Chain A
Amino acid sequence: MRLIAVTFIVMTAQAFGGLAFSSAAQKISIAQLSLFAQETSPLPQDSQDSAPISSSADPAAESSQSLQFDQTRFEAAEGYLTLTWNELNSAAEYSVRQDSGLEVYRGPLPEAFVSGLPDGTYQFTVDALDTQGQVIARSAQPAVVEVVHWPLRMALALFFGGLVIFLLLIAVIIRGALGQPEEAAAEPSTTQPETTT
């Protein structure tokens, strides 16, 4: 049975391999997210480090390309959050940077998930990039995130409360189960051949 399953998967993969991928290698993605973005379409150095917004855009175009976060103030007691912003038609992808300079997201969706933040205040900016990796718009106002994690005392109380419930449950089940071998031994055998294989 295992061999049949493996063979089937291999045959399927062979049948569809080469047909399946999008031809644009730099755009290999699922979930509408671009993969390998940093390797295949790197930004010019200047655009990676506080890049100036492209001067080729005319004022009318710039005004139509204003970029802003949907929400600019967050409080995150779990250290994670999702930043969202307005989508620009002319943008190929977006880059979100922390105030430390760390790029926390690059991809085509106007949405970035950020996690693992310790206590502190963080600012994020988003850049809209064209197909050449040039910045065509930048968020006018940064998103400010204040992270104050849940009190450790409360977390530990819930942790140990859960541990006590778990241990009590296991104790009850084990105590009940320990009585069963005697009961099982007294049962008549009802074993029959397995019929559903």
Chain B
Amino acid sequence: MTFPLAATPETILRPSSGYILLAIFGIAWVALGKWWGRRAQSYDGFAVAGRNVGLALGTATAVATWITSNTTMLAPQFALQLGVWGSVAYSTASFGLFAFAPMSGRIRTLMPQGYTAVEFVRRRYGRLGSIPFLIISLFYALTWLISMAMAGGKLLNVLSGIPYEVGMTVVVGVCVLYTLFGGMYAVIGTDFIQSIIILIGLVVVAVAVLMHVDMADVHETLRTERPMLLSVLFPAALMALFNNMLFGFGEIFHSNVWWSRAFAMRDGVGPKAYALGGLLWLPVPVVAGFLGLAAPALGIGISQPDTAGPLVAATLLGTGGALLVFVVVFCSLASSIDSLLAATSDLMVNDMIEPYAKKELSDAAKRKLSMFSIVALGVLSWAVAWGNNSTLATVLFFAGPMVGSCIWPIVGGLYFRRASPVAACAAMVLGSVAGLIAYELIFPFVGALVGAAVSGITFGVLMFLHPDQFDFATLAGPKRPRGADPQFASAGTASAETAGKETPGADQSGTVQSGEID
């Protein structure tokens, strides 16, 4: 492998500049992560930041995590493919944050000592529900992680000529290091700075767009050269609109990235933080999407639509724009990869290793296992991403039908006593299968929609035919999955009883008083 340092005609930044930026920000993130993570002595500190994250940090981490490199790459791609509707469709992902806002409050109340989404499903639906949910969660988390690693290598390469393998390795390595040092404390702390840098960068780009691009020109060019991009009745775009929204719902509702933050935020903070995060995130894909729509008016030839956004931003802003794009991209990559590493390691420790061990692990053991998991996830994603053999959009949207099928089991599980293990399992399995078939046979942009629809119908019918009468208070009690063997249950009794006594929202009889729908 060679390490070019001279400028090439195909890149806007010299590789040497890219290497220096990578070094500066890489060292900064690791140092900040180590500093922020100095409090992560206990497992609670490492996994859920002591369950005491406030509104500012909570909002920042929601925004930073949801602004991935996909937002800067795929939102312009959506706009170029599906026009104005495509841009709107991408921005509907913010509705997922709005919808999750009240859910995060209920999650925090029902499981004050919880760690993961899979833990909720295991205790709510037992093994029948948790097995398909764990498979979907792992598939999604690994897919997202690998696609982020690939996007890192690809973006740094096209921006500065840094070889794909080098850029990808540095991005993954830096994130693994600071997550390893500080766990959730480091993730949320760095997210705060990263979100500020990302938002400032996007505001600068938005201002530059308004100053340099004549809206009337853009509209006229699209009207004459690419008329479907302005059409209200663009069939593919109409199909994609709610598909993308439901994909976003599925991603947020099921992913431990968002559940772990709900557990990490102080009581009462989650709903406000997620709602504010959604508001801050909403305009981002609109700005990014407009970059894609402006490309034809600027006379920019597009080979790969997912690079249209950075390309147009760099065109409008020149050298400063290229630097800004580089930094924003690095921040958005890091803020997503670190979240995935932390949340997925929680999932591995709490939902795979601990249940397999059939005893409650000590705080120190879980802390150590978390660190091993983070390294393992980093190595795995690095190894798979090394081949760079799949397109970003394909990897991302393949998970859509699967996460779409989790929406109803999660919402129903949080609010319906009648939601039963059979209904949840069948909804996830049938929804995933139907969504994947639709994805392959009809159109990729209907996979999540079909998955959510089939899952919802299945869930509703089976909840009626095989109703449960779940006691929500048990979620705050002993760490015992439905149908678990007594040995495991008794092993976890001591600490779980303590947790049960401190459970807010439970009355004397142990029944959660409200927020349930019979």
Where the two chains meet, the residues of A that have a C-beta atom closer than 8 Å to any C-beta of B are 1-2, 5-6, 9, 12-13, 16-24, 27-39, 77-80, 82, 102, 104-109, 111-113, 115-118, 149-152, 154-156, 158-159, 161-163, 165-166, 168-170, 172-177, 179-180, 182-184, 186-188, 190-192, 194-197
Contacts and interface: CB of A to CB of B under 8 A. Distances in A.
Given A33-B300, A35-B300, A37-B299, A187 B226 contact: no
B377 interface: no
17 contacts: A5-B196, A13-B324, A17-B319, A17-B323, A18-B319, A79-B228, A79-B234, A105-B303, A112-B303, A113-B303, A118-B228, A154-B239, A155-B238, A165-B242, A183-B515, A196-B36, A196-B57
B246 A188 contact: no
Given A32-B303, A172-B517, A186-B505, A194 B99 contact: no
Contacts of A152: 233, 235, 238
Most buried by A among B36, B52, B243: B52
Chain B interface helix/strand/loop/mixed: helix
B171 interface: no
A20 B19 CA distance: 12
Given A29-B11, A30-B311, A16 B236 contact: no
Nearest to A150: B235
A186 B99 CA distance: 24
Interface stretch (B101-109, B113-121, B282-290, B480-488): B101-109
A182 B95 CA distance: 25
A16 B327 contact: no
Nearest to B101: A177
Contacts of A24: 9
B108 to A, nearest CB: 10
Nearest to B223: A116
Interface string B61-73: 0000000000000
Contact of A196 (B11, B189, B242): B189
Contacts of A196: 36, 39, 49-50, 52-54, 57, 185, 188-189
A136 to B, nearest CB: 18
Given A162-B241, A180-B515, 12 more contacts: A16-B21, A30-B310, A31-B303, A32-B158, A79-B234, A105-B301, A105-B303, A115-B229, A155-B235, A165-B449, A166-B242, A196-B36
B94 to A, nearest CB: 13
Contacts of A77: 236, 443
A183 B110 CA distance: 11
Given A5-B196, A78-B236, A197-B54, A183 B7 contact: no
A77 B516 CA distance: 45
A39 B300 CA distance: 11
B512 A158 contact: no
B159 interface: yes
A184 B516 CA distance: 14
B56 interface: yes
A5 B319 CA distance: 18
B515 A161 contact: no
Contacts of A107: 301, 303
Interface string B391-412: 0000000000000000100011
